[in-house]
Structure 1
Amino acid sequence: MYLRKVLFLTRTACCNVSKLQAPSYSRQKVWLIAANSARFYSAENIDKNKETKDEKVDILGRFFPQAPLNTEDAQQIKKEQEKFEKENKEKSEENEKSWRRMKMGFAVFGGAMTVMGTCMVIEMGAPRRGDDGQIIEDEFSHLPSVLQYLRRTWKELTFYEKMIKEPSREKLLPDPLPSPYQPTYTLVLEFTDVLVHPDWSYQTGWRFKKRPGVDQFLQSVASSNYEVIIFTTENAFMIWPVIDKLDPENKFITYRLFRDSTHFVDGVHVKNLEGLNRDLSKVIVVDWNKAATKFHPQNSLVLKKWKGADDDTALLDLANLLQTIAMSEVADVREVLTYYGQFDDPIAAFRENQRPPHKELSFNGYLNVYNPP
């Protein structure tokens, strides 16, 4: 009885265990089947891609056949590669040498500038000594030695800068002569492109072409109570011999002023009429550059720049205008010049009988210049 119950319980337990293990076996089989199928699929695709790739290579090979390289071609390619590598190596070495030379050049230049600057400070910053050899006290003597030298050097440099930018002297002309030897009016003329025009060629070098009527113009104004002054922004060594050719006996041109008599402002050499030592109510400046006379525009008569035209008559008309002013004894020429300064071409306006309103004086057929009431 007991034995039968034990056998029954044992069989029941075994059946239950088999039932529990059956699903796990089925799951394992499912996972195995899935893994095998994935592996089979990947292997199949790899084979297909390989076949496709081989097929593509074969197709390219059909259309672009490549012959196998022989020994000579391989040696030629090798030589070209070696030559290319050698050229690159030589180029890199040359670049390194150039960079080394450049650094050495900068070092030498920097050393030279340092030595030159030190010598300049020592020379220009040294204290001044009297005739007896004693040091002359100045405004920097109470400072330390290094600052003394630096401050004196800076003062000297600014002094030289002032010499470049300002006129070489405060009074450009001597005092006027006593009456009746001193002319009433002062005519200041720009030389280049007003009286002459510079021209250069390979055959002749620099030459100066005289403006039509320049000789008659100078003779006319010099005999019409004018003190004629050449005031040009050119250098003296270049223009002086040309003026000698234009007026060899110094009959017409009284004084000559050059670039060293101008102010250098904003890159332009400006003529300051204050240094002429003349009454500005009797000074007339004739120029083609308005910027060169910007300190005194009311005294300026700005003409068009002459470029060498042979049919030009501006100087003859200008001589008539200046003669009219002188013969009319105008008290202040700035009133007349201000009126004509409103025209782009004052000579053309004078030629066309343009005149100041309500103030006229007839002279030689011109109604342009007047005496103020």
Structure 2
Amino acid sequence: MKEAVPASTTPVKDGQSDQSSGDKKEKDSKWSGRNAWKYGLLLLGGWATVTTGVLINIWGAPAIDPEGNEIKDEFSDMSFLQAYLKRALKEFHQYKQMLKDPSRDKLLPDPLQYPYMQPPYTLVMEMTGVLVHPDWTYGTGWRFKKRPGLDYFLQQVGPPLFEIVIYTSEQGYNADPILNNLDPNGYVMYRLYRDATRYVEGHHVKDLSCLNRDLSKVIIIDWNKASTKLQEENRFLLKRWTGADDDRTLIDLANFLRTLSMSGIEDVRTVLQYYSEFEDPIGAFRENQRLLQEEQEKQVRLLEEKEKKKKSTPWMPSLFSRR
């Protein structure tokens, strides 16, 4: 009886399988362990080089007219490579500046004209920390808590007294649904988000000069000094609301703004500059209102006493009357 022949009759030398497995391990070790970061940097450098080349080719290409002819610019007389590099660098700086500047020169449309009614003053407000507070619980997760008195505030200061503009550094896709719930009656006339801010020294700053409004009639309500530093004379700073349920700041703020609006003041910056000297401007306004009320009550009492005294004085016949 013949013995079974193995499938492979190639002789295997002692240690050959061990050597092949060792070579495989050595090959794998080149892409792992101590050498992994070297290959990673090599791949990253190659990717960066290719990306840079593509961007230079796109941004550095000269402009083309509708007929397909090259439009000459300040770089046309340079060498091919130098011209492409200069154009690409200019385009990069413009793109970088575009990210820092507001998305448009006029953030608001022109004021309404007759027969429509344009409110005489513009009220610019931050959303987070002024109107709402981000709150997290195990039961609900993240949600935005509405500040007490917000409905009363919007009703009291909305059109026709003030043109209300929400100007926040939040992204539009986050802030829009929140504002839809906060303002179902449409007291807020315009909404401006992060793309409308100016990026300055690491902060998203609100530039009121881009609002297309007379700054003597603009008030910005915020808690953050850094985000309102371009027009300090127009700001009315509040303490940041942290979610307290007994807060009544918006009620007092509504009374302050209504008083200012009813006064018909020509330049709101004079009033705002006065209250900016107080650590608690709302508290200072309440105190001024209290003193004013006391003075008015005092004047009313004096008039009443004068009338009472006049009525109680007996009639005296004139010594020179005819007999």
Aligned with residue 183 of structure 1, among 119, 127, 130: 119
- Residue 209 of structure 1 aligns to a residue whose secondary structure is strand
- Residue 168 of structure 1 aligns to a residue whose secondary structure is coil
Deviations 1:278-325 (A, max 9, x none): 111111110000111111111100000000000000000000000100
Q: 1:36 — aligned with what?
A: none
Could you tell me which runs of 5 or more consecutive residues in structure 2 were left unpaired when the two chains were aligned: 1-24, 298-323
Q: What is the deviation of 1:354? A: 7.1
- Residue 288 of structure 2 aligns to a residue whose secondary structure is coil
**Contact conserved, 1:224 with 1:323, CA < 8 A, in 2?**
no
Which contiguous aligned blocks of 4+ residues in structure 1 show a shift greater than 4 angstroms? 93-97, 360-363
Amino acid at match of 1:340: Y
* Aligned counterparts of 1:283 and 1:325: Cα–Cα separation in 2: 12
2:193 corresponds to 1:253: no
Q: After superposition, where does 1:184-263 map in structure 2 within 5 Å?
A: 184-223=120-159, 225-250=161-186, 252-263=187-198
Deviations 1:142-164 (A, max 9, x none): 11111111111111111111111
Amino acid at match of 2:288: N
* Aligned counterparts of 1:205 and 1:286: Cα–Cα separation in 2: 28
* Aligned counterparts of 1:232 and 1:194: Cα–Cα separation in 2: 10
Q: What is the deviation of 1:106? A: 1.1
* Aligned counterparts of 1:205 and 1:129: Cα–Cα separation in 2: 53
Change (3 A) 1:138 1:205: farther
Q: How many residues align?
A: 269
Q: 1:84 — aligned with what?
A: none
- Residue 294 of structure 1 aligns to a residue whose secondary structure is helix
- Which is richer in helix? 1
* Aligned counterparts of 1:217 and 1:198: Cα–Cα separation in 2: 20
Larger radius of gyration: 1
Give TM-score scaled by structure 2 length.
0.78
Relative contact order, higher structure (CA 8 A, sep 6+): 2
- Residue 286 of structure 1 aligns to a residue whose secondary structure is strand
Could you tell me which runs of 5 or more consecutive residues in structure 1 were left unpaired when the two chains were aligned: 1-89, 367-373
Q: What is the deviation of 1:112? A: 1.2
* Aligned counterparts of 1:96 and 1:235: Cα–Cα separation in 2: 42
Change (3 A) 1:163 1:205: farther
Q: Percent identity?
A: 51
Q: After superposition, where does 1:1-373 map in structure 2 within 5 Å?
A: 97-179=32-114, 181-223=117-159, 225-250=161-186, 252-353=187-288
Amino acid at match of 1:141: S
* Aligned counterparts of 2:62 and 2:285: Cα–Cα separation in 1: 62
- Residue 191 of structure 2 aligns to a residue whose secondary structure is strand
Q: 1:22 — aligned with what?
A: none
- Residue 143 of structure 2 aligns to a residue whose secondary structure is strand
Give TM-score scaled by structure 1 length.
0.68
